[in-house]
C-alpha cells in the first residue's frame, strides 16, 4: 500500500471473519493474532457484531480471541467498553455500556414508527419476533421464512424513518429483519468510537465478510475483505471506486485473511 497514516484502530466483524462459521479458529493463526495485538501497546481493538452482548461474549470466549477495548453489539445499536482490555479471559462483569452512545441513539429512535411496523409485519405469514434476549433498547428484530415481495412492500414506506437491515442467519434457514434508528449501523458505531478516541478514519482498518460490512468498505476507513467473503461483497468492492480508505481483498480465509490484510496495511508485531 502507499505511504499513509499509521493504523491505530483495528475493528472487525466476528462470524465469518475472526470466528470461522463451521470450525474452530486455527490455533497457530489465533496465536499469531494474539501476539500481534499484544505487541502493539498503542493499538485499539474493537469487535463489531450482530450478536447480542451475552452471545458475543460466549462466542469470543469459545473462540479464544483476545479481549477487545470495545465491543459493538446488536448490529451497531450498543457499544460496551472493557475495563480489562487484552486480558486472558472474558469477565462479564468487566464491561460497561457507553451511556453517551445510548443517549445519542435515544434521540434517533422512532418508537412510534417501530410499533406500527411491528404490527404490520406480524400480520404477514412467516414473520415472527425474535427471542427477548435478541431485542435491544434500539433494535427490534424479526425472523421471516423468506424476504417476500409482501414483506419488502410493507417495509418500503418506513425506510426514511428507520434503518431496515435484511440478512440471513448463519446457522438456520431463516431470514432476519432488524429495525434500527435511522442512519445507525455498524459503520455509525465505529465512527462513534473513532470520535471518542479522536482518531482519523484513515488510522482505522475494518475487516469483514458479509453484506452488512459493505458500508464500512465504502467508508473513509481502510478495509480487509477476507478470502471467504460472500461473492457479492467482493464484487461490490471490485466494481466501485469510492473515495476514502483503501480496501484489500485477502486470499486467506477468516483469521488468516485478517493477518494477511493487517500486514498489507503495515500492522506488524513490535
All domains of the chain in start order, with CATH: 9-105+184-264 (3.40.50.1000), 111-181 (3.90.1070.10)
Q: Is 225 left (phi over 0), alpha (psi -120 to 50) or beta?
A: beta
CB 90 within 8 Å of CB 67: yes
Among 56-60, 127-131, 174-178, 225-229, name the one with the lowest average pLDDT: 174-178
Sign of the CA dihedral 116, 117, 123, 129? negative
- 157-167 tens-digit pLDDT: 999 999 998 87
How far the first Cα of the chain sits from its last, in Å, is 19
Integer CA distances (angstroms), 203 to 11, 130, 212, 220, 221, in order = 11, 37, 22, 10, 7
Q: Which tens digit of pLDDT belongs to each residue from 203-226?
A: 999 999 988 899 999 999 999 999
Q: pLDDT digit string (tens) for 164-177?
A: 988 776 666 788 89
Q: What's the burial of 10, exposed, middle or buried (CB within 10 Å: 0-12/13-18/19+)?
A: buried
The pLDDT value given to residue 232: 87
Instruction: Give the DSSP letter of residue 130.
Output: P
- CA atoms of 77 and 91, how far apart (whole Å): 22
pLDDT of residue 266: 93
pTM value is 0.92
Helices 254-264 & 27-38, crossing angle to 10 degrees? Answer: 40
> Among 47-51, 122-126, 173-177, whose mean pLDDT is lowest?
173-177
What's the whole-number mean pLDDT along residues 99-112? 97
**Grid coordinates 493474532 are at which residue?**
33
Element (H, E) at 100: helix 99-106
Please, are residues 46 and 69 in contact by the beta-carbon 8 Å criterion? yes
Nearest to 216 by CA among 200, 237, 239: 237
Would you state the pLDDT for residue 44?
97
In this prediction, residue 174 carries a pLDDT of 83
| Per-residue pLDDT band at 242 (split at 50, 70, 90) | low
Residue 32 pLDDT exceeds 90: yes
Residues 6+ apart with CB under 8 A from 150: 124
Mean of the pLDDT values across residues 1-18? 85
Once rounded to an integer, what is the mean pLDDT over residues 240-249? 78
Provide the edge-to-edge strand list for the sheet that holds 162-168. Answer: 127-129, 140-144, 175-181, 162-168
Res 241: pLDDT? 63
Q: What is the mean pLDDT of residues 4-22?
A: 91
**Does 1 score more than 90 pLDDT?**
no
Give the per-residue pLDDT at 4: 57
- Amino acid 263: pLDDT: 96
Q: Which residues are paired to 248 by β-bridges?
A: 224
- Sequential DSSP letters for 246-266: -EEE-SS-HHHHHHHHHHHTT
pLDDT band at residue 89 under the 50/70/90 scheme = confident
A 10 A CB-CB count for 28 gives: 10
Amino acid at each position: 500500500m502507499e505511504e499513509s497514516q499509521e493504523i491505530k484502530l483495528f475493528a472487525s466483524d466476528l462470524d465469518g471473519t475472526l470466528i470461522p462459521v463451521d470450525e474452530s479458529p486455527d490455533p497457530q493463526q489465533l496465536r499469531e493474532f494474539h501476539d500481534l495485538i499484544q505487541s502493539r501497546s498503542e493499538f485499539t481493538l474493537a469487535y463489531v457484531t450482530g450478536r447480542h452482548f451475552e452471545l458475543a461474549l460466549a462466542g469470543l470466549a469459545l473462540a479464544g480471541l483476545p479481549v477487545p477495548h470495545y465491543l459493538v453489539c446488536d448490529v451497531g445499536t450498543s457499544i460496551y467498553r472493557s475495563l480489562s482490555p487484552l486480558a486472558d479471559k472474558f469477565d462479564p462483569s468487566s464491561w460497561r455500556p457507553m451511556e453517551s452512545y445510548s443517549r445519542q441513539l435515544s434521540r434517533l429512535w422512532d418508537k412510534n414508527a417501530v410499533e406500527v411496523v411491528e404490527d404490520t409485519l406480524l400480520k404477514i405469514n412467516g414473520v415472527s419476533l425474535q427471542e427477548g434476549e435478541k431485542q435491544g433498547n434500539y433494535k427490534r428484530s424479526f425472523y421471516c421464512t423468506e424476504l417476500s415481495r409482501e414483506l419488502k412492500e410493507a417495509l418500503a414506506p418506513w425506510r426514511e424513518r428507520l434503518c431496515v437491515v435484511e440478512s440471513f442467519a448463519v446457522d438456520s434457514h431463516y431470514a432476519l429483519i432488524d429495525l434500527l434508528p435511522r442512519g445507525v449501523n455498524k459503520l455509525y458505531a465505529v465512527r462513534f468510537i473513532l470520535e471518542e478516541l479522536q482518531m482519523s478514519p484513515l488510522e482505522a482498518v475494518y475487516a469483514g465478510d458479509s453484506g452488512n460490512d459493505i458500508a464500512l468498505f465504502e467508508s473513509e476507513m481502510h478495509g480487509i475483505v477476507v478470502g471467504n467473503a460472500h461473492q457479492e461483497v467482493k464484487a461490490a468492492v471490485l466494481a466501485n471506486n469510492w473515495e476514502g480508505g483503501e480496501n484489500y481483498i485477502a486470499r486467506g480465509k477468516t483469521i488468516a485473511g485478517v493477518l494477511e490484510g493487517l500486514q498489507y496495511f503495515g500492522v506488524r508485531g513490535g
